[in-house]
Structure 1
Amino acid sequence: MVVEYERRGAVAVVTMNRPEYRNAQNSAMTYALDEAFYRAAEDDGVAVIVLAGAGPHFSAGHDIGTPERDADATFPRRAGMWWDHVGKAGAESRFARESEVYLGMCRRWREIPKPMIASVQGACVAGGLMLAWVCDLIVASDDAFFADPVVRMGIPGVEYFAHPWVMPPRVAKEFLYTGDRMPASRAYELGWVNRVVARGALEEETLALAERIAAMPRMGLALTKKAVNQAEDLQGMHAGMDAVFGLHHLAHAHNAETGGDPLGGQDARSMREAPHGS
């Protein structure tokens, strides 16, 4: 299974399970995550959701080249009413697909009325950031690092463009302009990682935090989450993401028109092997 689901008392642990591909997210994984989150949201016995990744890495991002990439497969759409991307051409296909499986899914998951904690180790890159950022809290191991290198593709960041709300704008610009890796210690200093723990203690520390939160009243947690999310949206987060999503697709279209490749000639290997800071 590309996603595993386990109940641990009042905590649902949802684990991405493609460790051989650093948990790169194909569509099968995205929709399996959606099913797992629905299951946890509907279970009255679940108070907190933990999102984790099997193996040495949380997630290397969206699947742009594994043998099991399934971008042309049909799945039941749940994040929006836009038509299916399968069989469509050009921007009509890309916009429909990314509206559903990237921006649409992430926005829905952000609104799950139960606290969500990302448990991050190793790589949390590009599409991996989107999964961590929809969670309310992030617990990272001391070997974790974060990066959004998609400017190398000529694209202004991932589809769920939370960067200016997660970190100060000048830091966000450097993060994007360079594509460098940000260590967990730096993310903690900037306030978008809640805790940094030893790699061997990551699971234990994350579950301890989840169990502590699970003891709080359910309605109080749900309303508190909604209150903070509304404050972010009043600061322009929702509208800002819509605007950047348009720029994101302008970049795809520009790449396709000038070079025949919406990813600007990049693939999983070239993105992984590009120079990076530390």
Structure 2
Amino acid sequence: MTYIDYEVADKIATITLNRPERANAQNGALLDELDAAWMRAAADPEVVVIVLRAEGKHFSSGHDLKSGEPVPEKITLELIYQNESRRYLEYSLRWRNIPKPSIAAVQGRCISGGLLLCWPCDLIVAADDAQFSDPVVLMGIGGVEYHGHTWELGPRKAKEILFTGRPVTAVEAEQVGMVNKVVPRDELDDETMKLARHIASMPPFGLRQAKRAVNQTLDVQGFYAAIQSVFDIHQTGHGNALSVSGYPVLARLDEMKAKIT
């Protein structure tokens, strides 16, 4: 793998985003490698817990809109829909539903597409410098593809961060229940692995059933249907962009990522 590191020890699979020079921005190859790592951990009978972490100052600056990857001569909404439904919706839902507990360790900035990586995890441990944001309203889009905002933050806080584009601090995220624990930055990995080892000592089948019970309850409340529905709302943003300024929408992109170094 080029952008992802993978290792297993003590019944814990650790998946590491390793593109720090780009603040772990997500191009297609990174996401495909990441999905392969998740599937590898899911299939390994020796793995009880999955940890997702990132190298560098920031967890992820989101989708890499300046990746330099080949762009089709003609961009259509159908092409956008096909790509995003696979890499941004199906991947995130698949990671969410893997029948093993997962923990995301988040530091620095977690912007837009970065949320699609940590929100599917069952638990989130955040460094005290972590900030979570989705400023894509600046791009004429109502939020990222896996629209977990309302479920993760509650309706009014979700609207606030979408309307303003401002980041949610680790402390705020813990207060609303999006984050399980906030720790000093230099203790993030140790505290995450301590939690992972504790969970890994529990009976795997019991963990699987507990996860299914909670996820199924959310789905009965409408989570799955809402995620699917709002993904289609997201696509209307792309449709508008295609008619106004072309794709991708790069307006104010530099402003969005000005603080990512």
Same fold by TM-score greater than 0.5: yes
Displacement after TM superposition at 1:39 (Å)? 1.1
Q: 2:124·2:181 contact (CA, 8 Å) conserved in 1? A: yes
- Cross-structure match for 1:3: 4
Matches of 2:70 and 2:136 in 1, distance apart?
18
Matches of 1:17 and 1:204 in 2, distance apart?
18
CA deviations on 1:47-106 (whole Å, 9 max, x unpaired) are: 100000111111111111134xx365xxxxxxxxxxxxx677410110000000000110
- Cross-structure match for 2:19: 18
Runs of 5+ unmatched residues, structure 1: 73-85
- Cross-structure match for 1:129: 115
CA deviations on 1:247-268 (whole Å, 9 max, x unpaired) are: 111111111102223426343x
- Cross-structure match for 2:172: 186
- Cross-structure match for 1:243: 229
1:172 lines up with 2:126 in the alignment: no
SS of 1:49's partner is strand
- Cross-structure match for 2:53: 52
Matches of 1:170 and 1:9 in 2, distance apart?
41
Matches of 1:266 and 1:98 in 2, distance apart?
21
- Cross-structure match for 2:67: 66
Matches of 2:103 and 2:47 in 1, distance apart?
13
CA deviations on 1:117-171 (whole Å, 9 max, x unpaired) are: 0000001110111111000000000011100000111101000001111111011
- Cross-structure match for 1:273: 258
Q: 1:87·1:93 contact (CA, 8 Å) conserved in 2? A: no
Q: 1:117·1:136 contact (CA, 8 Å) conserved in 2? A: yes
**Runs of 4+ residues over 6 Å off in structure 1:** none
Displacement after TM superposition at 1:273 (Å)? 2.7
Q: 1:27·1:71 contact (CA, 8 Å) conserved in 2? A: no
Match of 2:205 among 210, 216, 219: 219
Q: Aligned letter for 1:29? A: L
Q: 1:15·1:52 contact (CA, 8 Å) conserved in 2? A: yes
Match of 1:200 among 186, 192, 208: 186
- Cross-structure match for 1:155: 141
Q: 2:52·2:103 contact (CA, 8 Å) conserved in 1? A: yes
Q: Aligned letter for 2:257? A: R
Q: Percent of counterpart pairs with the same letter?
A: 47
Q: 1:21·1:66 contact (CA, 8 Å) conserved in 2? A: no
Displacement after TM superposition at 1:11 (Å)? 0.7
Match of 1:117 among 103, 106, 120: 103
Matches of 2:190 and 2:216 in 1, distance apart?
31
Matches of 1:118 and 1:196 in 2, distance apart?
12
Matches of 1:234 and 1:188 in 2, distance apart?
25
Displacement after TM superposition at 1:223 (Å)? 1.1
Matches of 2:257 and 2:87 in 1, distance apart?
23
Runs of 5+ unmatched residues, structure 2: none
Q: Aligned letter for 2:233? A: L
Matches of 1:89 and 1:221 in 2, distance apart?
44
1:229 lines up with 2:215 in the alignment: yes
RMSD: 1.5
Q: How many pairs align? A: 258
Q: Aligned letter for 1:227? A: A
SS of 1:152's partner is helix
Matches of 1:87 and 1:256 in 2, distance apart?
14
Q: 1:253·1:262 contact (CA, 8 Å) conserved in 2? A: no
Q: TM-score, normalised by structure 1?
A: 0.89
Q: Aligned letter for 2:50? A: I
- Cross-structure match for 2:242: 256
- Cross-structure match for 2:132: 146
Q: Aligned letter for 1:10? A: K
